Amino acid sequence: MKAYPPLLADAAFAAMIAPEPFARGTARLVYDVPGDPDVVVKKSRQPFPGPNIMEWLIWGSAAAAQGTLATILGRCIAISESRTWLMMERLDDLDPADHADIGDVPVWFNDRKPDAFGKRDGMIKIRDYGVVHRAHLVSCDMTRPPAFAIHARMQRRLGG
């Protein structure tokens, strides 16, 4: 992975991304960075870039604490001055066979669907944690995996 400063101008992000997003969510567009297959850039679709700010703050806290959260969250690398752009480590889509391998998630984690998770070098992580249950955000408690992962585990045990 290339080295990036943690804070970049909006124009720097706009200049480094692919011409078209490869993914679209309700709050953000996701772009490749030509020449760096290890990162993606998320661009806020809304005037207030809340999900980018939330991921940046959560990642910074998790990385500083160096605990379990830092191992299960996609790493944030850089953010733009306006917070409209956020660079994160690339986490590839999961195969349905991976669902049973998803571990416990934080109680504040809100987006409990398969697309919110990704995998890189065999590690499954949360790649979309920009919308949270704010009342639980300060808790380090973990809860069970999402329902789809529990279902996949049961299917695996039953041989299906």
In a domain, 49, yes or no: yes
In a domain, 2, yes or no: no
pLDDT for 107: 87
Domain residues for 63?
Answer: 7-157
Q: Is the predicted pLDDT of residue 138 greater than 90, yes or no? A: no
pLDDT for 82: 98
> Length of the chain, please?
160
Give the separation between CA 58 and CA 64, rounded to whole angstroms: 10
Residues 22-32: pLDDT tens digits? Answer: 999 989 999 99
As given in the structure block, the two tokens for residue 26 are 């309700």
To which residue do tokens 């200049």 refer? Answer: 15
Mean pLDDT confidence for 134-146: 74
pLDDT for 12: 97
In a domain, 48, yes or no: yes
CA distances 69 to 47, 65, 117, 134, Å, are 29, 8, 14, 16
In a domain, 145, yes or no: yes
How many domains, in total, are found in the chain?
A: 1
Residues 6-16: pLDDT tens digits? Answer: 999 999 999 99
In a domain, 123, yes or no: yes
In a domain, 105, yes or no: yes
Residues 66-110: pLDDT tens digits? Answer: 888 999 999 999 999 999 999 999 999 999 999 999 999 988 898
For residue 111, give the CATH number of its domain: 3.30.200.20
In a domain, 1, yes or no: no
